[in-house]
């Protein structure tokens, strides 16, 4: 089980497989899902260079500028704001925290994209692993926030960008519905993403 999970969370180690991943990512608007803290270095050292090599296999002169961002929603961090009477309250939607509790060795930030009516809101942690276009923090933070409004099954914002929510829903659907081993034709397609 552990080996299957690792395989599903990591890109393959050969450029030819990466080229099929690149084609799948193109069809899925460039999103993949599932990277933990322990895999950030692997993303930076292995997966990003292999994606760039795969781009060259698809088109020899194709070298896209790539922003690789890890989205983590299962975190224990909580954020609060103090109102006029020194009461603690949930922060407003769109609140970004990019200092003090962030990491020194990564460009990361916490974002509160939604409003909660009960309990304390959990921010989402965004870690920018690679930023070749050199987008400013403001641009990436605004983009992250706006992507949380693109989930069509909810009238407001969701906790993660819509592409992550769709990937989660699809993985759950396949996991619950398909009661047999996948067809071997799909082995090089990363259908489990």
The per-residue pLDDT for range 114-155, each reduced to its tens digit, is 988 888 889 999 999 999 999 999 999 999 999 999 999 889
The per-residue pLDDT for range 53-85, each reduced to its tens digit, is 888 888 888 888 889 899 998 888 888 888 888
User: Do the domain assignments include residue 193?
Assistant: no
The parent domain of residue 75 ranges over 20-186
Q: What is the CATH number of the domain that holds 96?
A: 3.30.420.10
Domain count within the chain: 1
Query: If you ran DSSP here, which 8-state letter would residue 45 be given?
Result: I
Question: CA 36, 175, 41: angle at the middle one, nearest 5?
Answer: 15
User: Do the domain assignments include residue 191?
Assistant: no
Kindly report whether the global pTM for this prediction surpasses the value 0.75.
Answer: no
**63 vs 20, 37, 59, 88, CA distance in Å?**
16, 27, 9, 48
Token digits of residue 156:
């407001």
Residue 71: phi and psi, rounded to 5, are: -110, 120
């Amino acid at each position: 089980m552990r080996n299957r999970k690792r395989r599903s969370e990591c890109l393959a180690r050969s450029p030819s497989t990466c080229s099929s991943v690149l084609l799948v990512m193109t069809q899925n608007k460039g999103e993949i899902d599932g990277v933990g803290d322990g895999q950030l270095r692997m993303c930076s050292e292995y997966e990003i260079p292999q994606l760039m090599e795969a781009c060259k296999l698809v088109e020899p002169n194709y070298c896209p500028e790539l922003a690789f961002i890890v989205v983590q929603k299962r975190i224990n961090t909580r954020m609060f704001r103090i109102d006029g009477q020194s009461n603690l309250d949930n922060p407003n939607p769109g609140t970004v925290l990019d200092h003090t509790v962030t990491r020194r060795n990564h460009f990361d930030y916490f974002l509160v994209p939604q409003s909660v009516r009960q309990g304390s809101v959990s921010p989402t942690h965004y870690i920018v692993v690679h930023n070749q276009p050199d987008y400013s923090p403001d641009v990436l933070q605004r983009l992250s926030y706006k992507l949380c409004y693109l989930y069509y099954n909810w009238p407001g914002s969701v906790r993660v960008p819509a592409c992550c929510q769709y990937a989660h829903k699809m993985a759950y659907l396949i996991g619950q519905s398909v009661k047999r081993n996948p067809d071997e034709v799909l082995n090089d397609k990363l259908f489990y993403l």
